[in-house]
């Protein structure tokens, strides 16, 4: 339920390094955009700017037509899923998933319902009282997803969410993410190094190099060219 517009976006870090140069992209509602490119090309920086975790040096970022450059991360209606999960080790699965809602002062009953609904979708119902260390890698990844989906955000940003999983789990989670995308009708921007993930999940692929967009195309066009 969200479109995104990035116009002439630049990122210059305080040390003077230009990590992103003139990034332009129009993302339509429900698209699944993939960012690919070598390490250090500016994928995470771009995601972090969209999330509001990093200032935009110049350019304009819009969500649903509204400029959000100066909007706080928590007010952007965006959820981010990281490769290292970033779960709180001392909290249960329930509390990890509830955390962002508590922060936003959502009523307790509503929190319980949202967490239980997400747990059902992600097959975490029986694990809500466990601590992260008592979970498998795939289960932890699902909790990280759960923490994002309980907020029902307009936009999901995922930074190599599957790269720490073994091959078998990666395949399983890949299809779970695909069905989540359909089910939630969400707009997703997803960073990966994995060509199969890019091909099976993406509606469009953005190829980055040295902070510059090289190409934007459908997976079919990008990977099946002679």
Other beta carbons within 10 Å of 100: 17
Q: Which residues contact 50 (CB under 8 A, 6 or more apart)?
A: 4, 6, 61, 78, 155, 157, 189
Write a three-state SS string for 31-96: CEEEEECCCCCCHHHHHHHHHCCCCCCEEEEEECCEECCCCCHHHCCEEEECCCCCCCCCCCHHHH
**Which of the residues 132 through 151 are near ligand ADP (CB under 6 A)?**
147, 151
214 binds ligand ADP (CB under 6 A): no
DSSP code, position 18: E
Q: Which is nearer to ligand ADP, 118 or 226 (CB)?
A: 118
Q: How far is the CB of 169 from ligand ADP (least distance, A)?
A: 21
Q: How far is the CB of 12 from ligand ADP (least distance, A)?
A: 9
The first and second tokens of residue 15, run together, are 């040390």
Binder among 31, 32, 43, 68 for ligand ADP (CB under 6 A): 43
Kindly indicate which of the ranges 43-51, 118-126, 196-204, 213-221 contains the residues binding ligand ADP, using the contact rule CB under 6 A.
Answer: 43-51
Rounded Cα–Cα distance for residues 159 and 192 (Å): 7
**Which of the residues 7 through 26 are near ligand ADP (CB under 6 A)?**
13, 15, 17, 19
Q: Which is nearer to ligand ADP, 10 or 99 (CB)?
A: 99
Rounded Cα–Cα distance for residues 85 and 143 (Å): 8
The first and second tokens of residue 226, run together, are 């002679």
Q: Which is nearer to ligand ADP, 41 or 222 (CB)?
A: 41
44 binds ligand ADP (CB under 6 A): yes
Q: Which is nearer to ligand ADP, 175 or 214 (CB)?
A: 214
Q: How far is the CB of 56 from ligand ADP (least distance, A)?
A: 13
Rounded Cα–Cα distance for residues 149 and 36 (Å): 24
Rounded Cα–Cα distance for residues 196 and 223 (Å): 10
Site track for ligand ADP across 76-115, x = CB under 6 A: ----------xxx----------xx--x------------
Interface ranges with ligand ADP (CB under 6 A): 13, 15, 17, 19, 37, 39-45, 74, 86-88, 99-100, 103, 147, 151
């Amino acid at each position: 339920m969200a479109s995104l517009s990035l116009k002439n976006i630049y990122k210059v870090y305080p040390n003077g390094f230009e990590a992103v140069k003139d990034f332009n992209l129009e993302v339509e509602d429900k698209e699944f955009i993939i960012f690919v490119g070598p390490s250090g090309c500016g994928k995470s920086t771009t995601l972090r700017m969209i999330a509001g975790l990093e200032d935009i040096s110049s350019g304009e970022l819009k969500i649903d037509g509204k400029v959000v450059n100066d909007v706080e991360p928590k007010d952007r209606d965006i959820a981010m899923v990281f490769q290292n999960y970033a779960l709180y080790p001392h909290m249960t699965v329930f509390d990890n998933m509830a955390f962002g809602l508590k922060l936003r002062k959502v009523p307790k009953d509503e929190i319980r319902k949202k967490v239980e609904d997400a747990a059902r979708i992600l097959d975490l119902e029986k694990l809500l009282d466990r601590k992260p260390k008592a979970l498998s890698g795939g289960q932890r990844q699902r909790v990280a997803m759960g923490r994002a989906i309980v907020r029902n955000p307009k936009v999901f940003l995922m930074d190599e969410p599957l790269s720490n999983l073994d091959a078998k789990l990666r395949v399983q989670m890949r299809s779970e993410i695909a069905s989540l995308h359909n089910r939630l009708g969400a707009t997703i921007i997803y960073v990966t190094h994995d060509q199969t993930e890019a091909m099976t999940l993406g509606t469009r692929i953005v190829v980055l190099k040295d902070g510059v967009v090289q190409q934007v195309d459908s997976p079919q066009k990008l990977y099946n060219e002679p």
